[in-house]
Amino acid sequence: MEKQEILLESGTNELELLTFLLGSQSFGLNVLKVQSIMQYDPSSLTKIPKSPHTLLGMLLYRDRTIPLIDLSAALDLKNRNDNNKKQIVIVTEFNNVVNGFLVDGVNRIHRLSWGSFVPLTTAIGNVSDSITGSIQIDGTEIMVVDLEYILSVISPNLAISNISYETLNSTRSESREEVRIFFAEDSGTIRNNVVRILKKSGYGNVRDFDNGQTALDTLMEISDKVDTQGEEDDLPHVVISDIEMPQMDGLTLCRKIKDNSRLKQITVIMFSSLINDQMINKCKSVGADSYITKPEMDKLVSMLDKMCLNSKKTRSGDLVLTH
């Protein structure tokens, strides 16, 4: 069956979560990643020699072939239901790539608040990179799967890549060092890699956060100190934000920044695997200054150069960002 389009108002901190089964355990993923849902037909699968055990092969889908990933194998689940004769393929599209994920059943779609989402690192410490967190629905704990991480393990070219020599050396690193950046991203793997590459390029003045709420709280704290204590303005010049995050998503973070008279001058760049025409409209509706698809680090650094370095200095020495 086709996924029904469910429209959410931008910046309300809501998500639509599709819940599905692997064996008897419930998992979830953001509906924004789902293109369609269909019954699995083994006769439509072509096996690939010497492929990873998680990659079942290439599946015929709408007159084309797409990779089919065994999600139970990717999550290393031992108790899957091998007697399930009617498995389901969830077809996804993100990072401009279409993939199929084999699951044992699909439940339903739930409208939820990101504020109810608990990062597993907060709940129980370090866990599998394949799970971003959990949320309780009708008394059941739903594990939310990090499909980007799973795909990056199977196809490393889909992970955050290094920047080119040309981009790395296109400007003076000391100029980049003057730019204050906040970066909000819930995936520890992606967050660490992006910060590493930004610092390698010269953008070393970066503070990173694992959710939008913490980033906003820090912005407000700095702003309040400037307002009440007259301290030096250490607000960032740029906020780079993922869209899918627990506690507060990136669209809500952007809207709250742009609706705040003390913060609205901050440039906001949405950095997400979900960037498409519909999401671009949502980014614009909350006031985002720009947007870019993961994992395009060359474009991100070039965008920062264009927005931040082609600028003039104020009397206080702060950068005036150009748009």
- The pLDDT of 23-38, averaged and rounded, is 94
**Can you tell me the distance from the alpha carbon of 210 to that of 187, in angstroms, rounded to the nearest whole number?**
7
In this structure, are 196 and 287 located in the same domain?
yes
- Per-residue pLDDT band for 268 (boundaries 50, 70, 90) equals very high
Angle between helices 277-285 and 250-258 (to 10 degrees): 30
* pLDDT tens-place string over residues 142-190: 999 989 889 888 887 666 667 777 777 777 667 899 999 999 998 888 8
Tell me if 1 is assigned to some domain. Answer: no
Query: End of a domain among 157, 192, 221?
Result: 157
Among 157, 172, 196, give the residue marking a domain's end: 157
| pTM exceeds cut of 0.85 | no
Query: Would you state the pLDDT for residue 4?
Result: 44
Range of the domain at 120: 14-157
Q: How many Cα neighbours within 13 Å face the side chain of 278? A: 11
Judge if 142 and 190 occupy the same domain: no
Domain presence at residue 6 = no
Evaluated on CA atoms 242, 311, 173, 165, the torsion sign reads: positive
Based on the fold, state whether residues 176 and 301 are members of the same structural domain.
Answer: yes
Separation CA 100–CA 148 (nearest Å): 13
247: left (phi over 0), alpha (psi -120 to 50) or beta: left
- Split at pLDDT 50, 70, 90, the class of 290 is very high
Residues 315 and 170 in one domain: yes
pLDDT of residue 315 exceeding 50: no
Structure tokens at 234: 């250490």
The span from the CA of 233 to the CA of 96, in Å, is 39
Q: What is the CATH number of the domain that holds 239?
A: 3.40.50.2300
Q: Indicate which CATH number applies to the domain containing 91.
A: 2.40.50.180
Contact 234, 222 (CB under 8 A): yes
DSSP state of 84: -
Residue identified by tokens 């689940």 is: 77
Question: DSSP 3-state assignment of 283?
Answer: helix
pLDDT > 70: what percent of the chain? 84
Q: What amino acid occupies position 203?
A: Y
Look at residues 187, 151, 149 and name the one whose alpha carbon lies nearest to residue 271.
187
Residues 305, 205: one domain?
A: yes
Q: Same structural domain for residues 136 and 224?
A: no
- Residue 28 to residue 105: CA distance in whole angstroms: 12
Residue 144 lies in a domain: yes
Name the domain count of the chain: 2
Based on the fold, state whether residues 151 and 252 are members of the same structural domain.
Answer: no
- Among 157, 185, 207, give the residue marking a domain's end: 157
